[in-house]
Amino acid sequence: MSISNNYAKKRIKDALLISNGNYATAQRLILSWLKDDSLLLRELAIPHFKSMVGYALQEYGQEIEAKNLKKTNLLSKVQEQDTKNNDIDNFGQAMLQNMSSSGSMQNFGFTSDSELTPPAKTSKRHVNAIMKIAKKKKAK
């Protein structure tokens, strides 16, 4: 069964229009809409369900395999394979922790509220060094 996500696309477009194209503001707006809009939540989440279910099955399957292999003293082979696939597994785990986090929401490709602080003031020493480099380039 294929589910059309036209509604989600429309709401995302609305959020971008309301926020004048500011992704961080649009993100906060969409997150606030999700509290009362189950259709939007479902349409945004469904594309990710396949990977989440696959990850859960893989984890449970590996758990069962490890128990069976332990009985026959072949666990070392599984551990060797796990070290080869560790980077891929860590990415999936990080994504799932991010999605299930009860703390601040971190999203790939978007900024969180805490990241919207102005940059630190540039030191006088740094400005002087840049000016010296610029003067040398002009002289050439």
Q: What average pLDDT does the chain have? A: 75
Dihedral sign for Cα atoms in the order 53, 56, 58, 60? negative
pLDDT of residue 1: 37
Span 114-127, mean pLDDT?
A: 74
Res 95: pLDDT: 61
The total number of structural domains in the chain stands at: 1
Report CA 75 to chain centroid distance, whole Å.
32
Q: Is residue 91 part of a domain?
A: yes
Residue 95, domain member (yes or no)? yes
Domain with 31 in it: 6-139
Identify whether 12 is part of a domain.
yes
* pLDDT > 60? residue 106: no
Q: Looking at the domain assignment, is residue 54 inside a domain?
A: yes
Residue 137 to residue 130: CA distance in whole angstroms: 11
**Domain contains 1:** no
In the predicted model, what is the mean pLDDT of residues 20-49? 91
pLDDT-derived band at 121, boundaries 50, 70, 90: confident
Please report whether residue 113 resides in a domain.
yes
